[in-house]
Structure 1
Amino acid sequence: MSRAELPPTRPGAGSPGTVRPSQAGCRVAADESSALVWLSGVLEPAEHDRVRDALLARLGERPGPIVVDLGGLRSDRPTVGRLLAEVRRTVCDWPAADLLVVDPAGAVTGVAGELAVHPHPDDATAALARTPMAAVLTEELTPVVGAARRARELVTDGCDRWGMPELTEPACIAVTELVNNVVAHAATPMTLRLAPGGDTLHLAVRDHSRQQPRYAGLAPLTSAGGRGLLLIDTVARRWGSTLLPDGKVIWCVLHTEDESHWHHD
């Protein structure tokens, strides 16, 4: 099983693919063919943000949960537990994203029940198998005018196959704004991902610009533009933007019980 060092999250931290020696701090490595991520070495307080960002980047790269193995880590487990719980809270509304922990030492027992902790990688893998990952649709889009149309097609397909046609219209409104925001402001390639979650639909667009969207509330009727985030705020019960080392994820969650707002007489 091959391991790849996750890219550094700040200039000067090394180059992508570099193996960081354990004495230099906490090493974060991932198996490119599976959900496994390993933390090894010593997690110093100054490295908290780097490790968090590396885990968020991995979750942004692939759909579904990741399994974080702490077997090679020589750090205070409660501190590591708090970091992992923070990452899990951050991605809880992303499409089909989650985090499981492998802790052979048994020192991480969960932070207020927020972490699923297993003693061996096989146990975590078995837990994933017992909980089938939600269906996920993913599309790579270029920042061109037609991107939003393709995004709406994917959303319509997802709402149809997952039995939530009542969310088609509001979800198309939301995804149009998410994608057009990238086209107009980030101008980078993007990844659209969507997944059901019970009676909810989770949408996310990952781009490669760290410029955060700006939301100033209700815009004057006389203003030109600036209503994109207002539309998302109107159709989605929750939405937000999470910075990654080389960009961001903008996400939103729509609920089927809110669909009455979108019925036409």
Structure 2
Amino acid sequence: MTGTERPGARPAAGMHNGTIMPTDARCLVEADESSATVRLSGVLEPTAADPVRDALLARLSDRPGPIVVDVARLRSTDGSAARLLAEVRRAVTDWPAADLLVLDPAGTVTGADATGLPVYATADEATAALARTPMAAVLAADLAPTVGAARQARAMIADGCARWGVPQLAEPASIAVTEMVNNVVAHARTPMTVRLAPRDSALHVAVRDHSPRQPAYAGLAPLTSTGGRGLLLIDTVARRWGSTPVPNGKVVWCVLHAEDEAARQG
């Protein structure tokens, strides 16, 4: 399978008064629903990385758009902060409109792993970078795991492709989202959130459900098989796709490019 995968979802961090509190760490992750800023404070040691990672992924999977991670009150050992933040950013890079920006006035995020991370020294710089993210270009729908869910998702795909000027991606994206949604209906059987957003000439699609069961893709299905071709269809129409475990579920995502569809049609 292509894409970002992390086997075995870990227990989610606890919630208390708007603060996500890892139970086995000396590092707190504070999130406010009214803001895109998430604050890390305390000591981030290698043993604390897993619950903090899960808290950040939960925030990104449950609230569309990028976040600013404020590490002004964080102490980190052995480059742990840079490794953690880089890993989370890689995990969400192909999710619709998702990103991770770092507010680091004290220079906490250092080392080779910090290369490529968008790090800002002041809150004004981080806020300005956040404002440049085209959050208006995101469509989302919360769907029940019923037979009509795929039809609703396809309607949203058609709407998005028309308004974003990529009508040639409506058909392949509809194929992909149908398989993604039907997998939730057939296997996860949980409520789901479908999101899509454009980026350059590409369309990013994701379905977040509440089952830890990961999709299994073993390549081409035998000709005698009566099923198992759903993931093959996604692999055929998308340039990249994958499944990312998050607390209380997963995010299955794919990326479709207009030039790929033009090449197929030509």
> Same fold, TM exceeding 0.5?
yes
The aligned amino acid for 1:52 is R
Residue of structure 1 equivalent to 2:7: none
Distance in 1 (alpha carbons) for counterparts of 2:248 and 2:132: 34
Q: Which runs of 5+ in 1 are unaligned?
A: 1-8
Which runs of structure 2 are paired with 1:1-265 in the superposition (5 Å)? 10=11, 15-17=14-16, 20=21, 24-76=25-77, 78-109=79-110, 111=113, 113-133=115-135, 135-260=137-262, 263=265
1:24/1:254 CA distance change after superposition, 3 Å = closer
Distance in 2 (alpha carbons) for counterparts of 1:91 and 1:116: 14
Q: Contact between 2:49 and 2:80, CA under 8 Å: does it hold in 1? A: no
Residue of structure 2 equivalent to 1:5: none
Q: CA-atom RMSD, angstroms?
A: 2.1
1:149/1:225 CA distance change after superposition, 3 Å = same
Shift of 1:23: 10
Q: Contact between 1:109 and 1:117, CA under 8 Å: does it hold in 2? A: no
> Could you list the per-position Cα deviations for residues 83-107 of structure 1 after superposition, in whole angstroms to 9, with x for gaps in the alignment?
1011111111110110000112123
Distance in 2 (alpha carbons) for counterparts of 1:261 and 1:151: 25
1:21/1:80 CA distance change after superposition, 3 Å = closer
- More relative contact order, 1 or 2 (CA 8 Å, 6+ apart): 2
Moved over 4 A (4+): 18-24
1:27/1:156 CA distance change after superposition, 3 Å = same
Shift of 1:53: 1.2
Shift of 1:235: 0.3
Q: Contact between 1:202 and 1:254, CA under 8 Å: does it hold in 2? A: yes
Distance in 1 (alpha carbons) for counterparts of 2:107 and 2:130: 19
Distance in 1 (alpha carbons) for counterparts of 2:249 and 2:125: 33
Q: Contact between 2:81 and 2:108, CA under 8 Å: does it hold in 1? A: no
Aligned residue pair count: 254
Residue of structure 1 equivalent to 2:4: none
Distance in 1 (alpha carbons) for counterparts of 2:138 and 2:195: 7
Q: TM-score with structure 1 length normalisation?
A: 0.90
Q: Secondary structure at the match of 1:249?
A: strand
Distance in 2 (alpha carbons) for counterparts of 1:60 and 1:24: 22
The aligned amino acid for 1:229 is L
Q: TM-score with structure 2 length normalisation?
A: 0.89
Q: Secondary structure at the match of 1:168?
A: helix
Distance in 2 (alpha carbons) for counterparts of 1:43 and 1:176: 41
The aligned amino acid for 1:214 is A
Q: Which runs of 5+ in 2 are unaligned?
A: 1-9
> Could you list the per-position Cα deviations for residues 5-31 of structure 1 after superposition, in whole angstroms to 9, with x for gaps in the alignment?
xxxx527x6x43276599951101101
